[in-house]
């Protein structure tokens, strides 16, 4: 006997979970299918910065309580180059908008808890998820759960299954235009049980490569260094990681980076990717299923949330009035923000990372750009309004 719902959602990451919550609040029924176990999804260490709009949306969904209690509001960031730090006063430049430091895994925990507490359907550890019939008006999702084959009949499928999911590849060849730009470097990220050595994020351009000092709590630091995207994490013992961090964050005034036990480390390759249009028939792609940005602009999660906010609004209008104009315009509406964010993330990445093989001329251009961004109010404001979203 097939299950029946209005919206079949593939993926319980930020995109799928926020979409399901927004639909639930609009009285629209959905089922989420997630390949991984709940523990895995909730412990995956990924994004750390919420734009003002994302934080406001969590509040509007009644899910901001723990973010307000445990999250940290930031009003600026530092750009560090030539061993000197320069603060970008983002809130001052954007009429008070700020960012929230609140880990993606915490957002996911809050959303899953709310979903299950409301008795809404979310199936973990499913397999063989396959979208069918989305080129007509009776799409279905087949999948396996506990060794049993099952099916969901729905009106619409939301592909929120990330870059390696099954929904985008299910769209017929030739229907999508793919834009893909791979960078010649990746990020080695660590989570260290030590109080952050800074009050706000530090983005560093150094001759040895980019470094970022972020944080998760008063006791937990999140740091990254630019590395070879194909490097093996086994070649990065803690001592080497800290040595590289000290070298890249060093300043003329003797600023000190405190070390602590590294509790998590990993290497993430970097790419810019867009699949358009972000819809095909009754299948709608959202988040990393449709686009990937380099994390330098702290945008991935926030862009995913923006997509599903638009998708939820479009579906709500369609169910309430039969008007499908927003659904028909979903992809175009998302892509305006996607390409703005793609450009900003590429710009931040290009300005801060030492491009392998770049000649001195290109490094001088980066430093000139950094000098301008940290001395011109107009240039600072451009960075600030893109960063806070
Ligand atoms: P997600 O990938 O988060 O979620 C997709 C979900 O679908 C996953 O739970 C997956 O298990 C599930 N799924 C996949 N295939 C499936 C299938 N066949 N059937 C059922 N379920 C399936 N962004 C930032 O802003 N800042 C950062 O610092 C940052 N760091 C990152 C580090 C790493 C290692 C990675 C991979 C990404 C990082 N990102 C960062 C980007 C990240 O935060 C994404 O933008 C964000 O997770 C996007 O959310 P979703 O679109 O929901 O995709
Ligand atoms: C993080 O805290 O994980 C983080 C912050 C800013 C970024 C990327 C990652 O640009």
- pLDDT at 1 (0 to 100): 77
Let me know if residue 83 belongs to a domain: no
Question: Which residues are within 8 A (CB) of 328 and not within 5 positions of it... i.e. 6 or more apart?
Answer: none
Q: How far is CA 232 from the centre of its chain?
A: 24
- Closest by CA to 299, choosing from 363, 256, 344, is 344
Atom of ligand 2 nearest to the CA of 214: 2
Q: Is residue 157 domain-shared with residue 41, that is, in the same domain? A: yes
- 363 is a domain residue: yes
- Same domain (yes/no): 293, 332: yes
Q: How much is the pLDDT for 359?
A: 79
Rounded to the nearest angstrom, the distance between the alpha carbon of 386 and the centre of ligand 2 is 15
**How far is it, in rounded angstroms, from Cα 45 to Cα 265?**
9
Same domain, 29 and 140: yes
Q: Are residues 167 and 260 in the same domain?
A: no
Catalytic, 74? Answer yes
CA of 225 to the centre of ligand 2 (A): 11
Backbone torsions φ then ψ of 130, nearest 5 degrees: -140, 125
Longest dimension (CA), the chain: 70
Pair 156, 10: CB distance under 8 Å: no
Q: Which atom of ligand 2 is nearest to the CA of 296?
A: 10
Q: Which residues contact 14 (CB under 8 A, 6 or more apart)?
A: 104, 107, 108, 111, 287, 301, 304, 305
Is the CA virtual torsion 304, 307, 165, 290 positive or negative?
negative
User: What residues flank ligand 2, with Cβ below 6 Å?
Assistant: 47-49, 201, 212, 214, 222, 295-296, 298
297 within ligand 1 shell (Cβ under 6 A): no
Query: How far is Cα 335 from Cα 284, in angstroms, rounded to an integer?
Result: 13
Nearest-5° Cα angle at 233, 230 to 238 = 140
Q: Which residues of the chain have pLDDT under 70?
A: 356-358
Q: Domain containing 359 — which CATH number? A: 3.30.9.10
Residue 35: its H or E element: none
Cα 353 to Cα 294: distance, rounded to the nearest angstrom: 11
Q: Is residue 88 part of a domain?
A: no
User: Which of 123, 280, 319, 387 is flagged as catalytic?
Assistant: 387
Residues 264 and 333 in one domain: no
For the question of residue 295 being annotated catalytic, the response is yes
Residues 338, 340: Cα–Cα separation, whole Å: 6
pLDDT for position 358? 66
Q: Is 86 a catalytic residue?
A: no
Report which DSSP code applies to 86. Answer: E
Domain check: are 379 and 241 in the same one? yes
In a domain, 53, yes or no: no
Catalytic residue selected from 14, 139, 196, 295: 295
- Rounded to an integer, what distance in angstroms lies between the CA atom of residue 374 and that of residue 80? 10
Tell whether 336 and 210 lie within a shared domain: no
Catalytic member of 299, 306, 309, 353: 299
**C-alpha–C-alpha distance, residues 238 and 21, integer Å:** 40
Question: pLDDT tens across 216-258, in order?
Answer: 999 999 999 999 999 999 999 999 999 999 999 999 998 999 9
Same domain, 340 and 362: no
Are residue 285 and residue 316 in the same domain, yes or no? yes
- Nearest-ligand number for the alpha carbon of 196: 2
- The alpha carbon of 221 is separated from its chain's Cα centroid by a whole number of angstroms, namely 19
Segments forming the whole domain that contains residue 141: 3-48+103-176+277-346
Residue whose CB lies within 8 A of the most ligand 1 atoms, among 46, 53, 190, 225, for a mutation test: 46
Taking CA atoms only, the protein residue closest to ligand 2 atom 2 is 48
Is there a single domain that holds both residue 30 and residue 132? yes
Q: What is the CATH number of the domain that holds 129?
A: 3.50.50.60
What is the Cα gyration radius of the chain?
21
Catalytic residue among 102, 203, 319, 330: 203
| Number of domains the chain is built from | 2
292 lies in some domain: yes
In a domain, 92, yes or no: no
* Same-domain pairing of 283 and 260: no
309 is catalytic: no
In a domain, 85, yes or no: no
Q: Are residues 232 and 266 in the same domain?
A: yes
- Answer yes or no: are the C-beta atoms of 141 and 154 closer than 8 Å: yes
**Nearest C-alpha to atom 27 of ligand 1 is from which residue?**
47
- Note the pTM of the prediction, 2 decimals: 0.97
Assess if residue 54 is contained within a domain.
no
126, 144 contact by CB (below 8 A): yes
* Distances 53 to 1, 100, 107, 114, 321 between C-alpha atoms, Å: 41, 10, 14, 20, 27
């Amino acid at each position: 006997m097939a299950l029946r719902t209005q919206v079949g959602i593939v993926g319980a990451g930020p995109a799928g979970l926020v979409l399901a919550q927004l639909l639930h609040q609009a009285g629209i029924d959905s089922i989420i299918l997630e390949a991984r176990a709940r523990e895995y999804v909730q412990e995956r260490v990924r994004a750390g910065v919420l734009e003002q709009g994302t934080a406001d949306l969590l509040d509007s969904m009644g899910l901001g309580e723990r973010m307000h209690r445990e999250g940290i509001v930031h009003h600026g960031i530092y750009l560090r180059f030539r061993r000197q730090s320069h603060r970008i006063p983002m809130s001052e430049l954007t009429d008070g908008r700020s960012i929230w430091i609140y880990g993606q895994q915490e957002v996911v925990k809050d959303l899953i808890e709310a979903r299950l507490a409301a008795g809404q359907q979310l199936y973990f550890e499913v397999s063989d998820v396959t979208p069918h019939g989305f080129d007509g008006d009776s799409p279905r999702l087949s999948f396996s759960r506990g060794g049993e084959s099952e099916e969901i009949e729905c009106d619409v499928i939301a592909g929120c299954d990330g870059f390696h999911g099954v929904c985008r590849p299910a769209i017929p060849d030739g229907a999508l235009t793919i834009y893909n730009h791979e960078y010649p470097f990746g990020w080695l990220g660590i989570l260290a049980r030590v109080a952050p050595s800074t009050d706000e994020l530090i983005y560093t351009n150094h001759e040895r490569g980019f470094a970022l000092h972020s944080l998760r709590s008063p006791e937990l630091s999140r740091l990254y260094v630019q590395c070879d995207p194909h490097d093996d994490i086994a070649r990065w013992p803690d001592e080497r990681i800290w040595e590289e961090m000290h070298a890249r964050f060093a300043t003329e005034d003797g600023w000190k980076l405190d070390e602590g036990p590294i509790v998590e480390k990993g290497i993430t390759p970097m790419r810019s990717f867009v699949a358009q249009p972000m819809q095909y028939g009754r299948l709608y792609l959202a988040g990393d299923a449709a686009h990937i940005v380099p994390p330098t602009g702290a945008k991935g999660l926030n862009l995913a949330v923006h997509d599903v906010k638009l998708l939820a609004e479009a579906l709500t209008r369609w169910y309430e009035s039969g008007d499908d104009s927003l659904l028909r315009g979903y992809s175009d509406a998302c892509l305006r923000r996607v390409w703005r964010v793609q450009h900003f993330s590429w710009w931040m990445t290009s300005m801060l990372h030492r491009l392998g093989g770049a000649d001195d001329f290109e490094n001088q251009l980066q430093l000139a750009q950094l000098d301008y961004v940290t001395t011109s109010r107009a240039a600072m404001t451009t960075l600030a309004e893109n960063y806070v979203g």
